Structure 1
Amino acid sequence: MLVFKLLIIGLLLVIVFSLGQALFAMLKGNRNHSMTRHLGRRVAFSAVVILLLLLAMALGLVQPNPRPY
């Protein structure tokens, strides 16, 4: 369980780092499409995080909140 939590936290940090790289690429005005590459990488890592959470819920590693309010 701890390994799964560390994996999710690591992926979230990679997502934030990739978003920061896209910001700096946008501010520098790079014309070689590096900003879109970083944003695409962020979207891909976000999809991996969602799929891992769904898999963990299916396997019973993570329990969703029964009362969301």
Structure 2
Amino acid sequence: MSKRQVEYQVQRVRLDRTVSRNAVRKLLTDHAEYGGWELTRLRRYWDGSREIWIRRKIIPAVPTLEL
């Protein structure tokens, strides 16, 4: 039996410097709790903007009926 490599769906989010730290935390918490996303990387730039990479596993559909 061969082991399959896990595949991920990745999403990049860019936030302006005007978004507060608490708003970013709430956004990431909601994505994690309701969408199954996990934080991969958060980068803050010199101008105060943030770039966030989040990912979640892709679960392939398995057919249940045989024809």
Task: Give your verdict on TM over 0.5.
Answer: no
Higher strand proportion: 2
Larger radius of gyration: 2
- Where relative contact order (Cα < 8 A, 6+ residues apart) is larger, the structure is 2
Q: So what's the TM-score if we normalise by structure 2?
A: 0.29
